[in-house]
Amino acid sequence: MKKITVFIAMASLFGAVAAQSQTGHNGHGDKDAPYAGLQEREIKSLSESDLEELRRGGGWGLALPAELNGMPGPAHLLELRDEIGLSVGQVAEIEVIFDAMQVEAREVGNRLIAAEEAIEAAFRSGELDSARLRQLIDTAAAARADLRFIHLSRHLMTPSILTEAQIDSYNRLRGYTSNPCATVPDGHDPAMWRQHNNCD
């Protein structure tokens, strides 16, 4: 009985080792190399799309707390101006907010890229200590915080320019409203609203 038990245990062990050799180290397969290919990046912490977004002054997802809590972003408001029914005056106000945001965001975005590039260069050189690393990280973090403030603060400015109905329309058009048929925003003809939203 002991011989059979030992044989089964050995067979299980060899089976596990064989399976491990086929799937990769630790039996995780591709999970062992989640960063494979990223070594080719110009700046390892930023993808090409990240760099493009930062250089053009894009939102980079930094304003989600405002965007998803009823404070529309100026860029998307301008994109949806006709669907939302923005007046000429509203568009002019939002354009001022957007233009200033873009100028500041591009400047600080480039500052963040430079900060991440400095971290990259320091590790590449191999001449780095904890004190210098702390300084480099703090510089990058400050740039990111400034960039986030630029985008979030502009979202704070838009609600006072808009009507509740326009904010509701924005949220619906951006896909943030689960059921557009549940309520009809103020200022909209109920029959037309239901027709446009394919309500029963």
> String of b and e for 61-75 (b: at least 16 CB within 10 Å)?
ebbeebbeeebbbbb
pLDDT score for 30: 60
- Give the SS3 label for residue 158: coil
Asked if 164 contacts 188 with a C-beta cutoff of 8 angstroms, the reply is no
Looking up tokens 């510089």, which residue turns up? 139
d(CA 55, CA 107): 8
pLDDT in tens, the chain (200 residues): 444 444 444 444 444 434 444 444 444 446 778 888 888 788 889 999 999 999 999 999 999 999 999 999 999 999 999 999 999 999 999 999 999 999 999 999 999 999 999 999 999 998 899 999 999 999 999 999 999 999 999 999 999 999 999 999 999 999 998 665 666 655 566 766 666 566 76
Amino acid identity at 8 = I
57 DSSP 8-state letter: T
User: Residue 30 half-sphere exposure, CB side, CA atoms within 13 Å?
Assistant: 1
CB neighbours of residue 14 within 10 Å: 10
What is the tens place of the pLDDT at every residue in 16-28?
Answer: 434 444 444 444 4
Residues shown for the chain = 200
Write the single-letter amino acid at 63. A
CA pair distance 197, 200, nearest whole angstrom: 9
Alpha-carbon distance 52 to 98, whole Å? 18
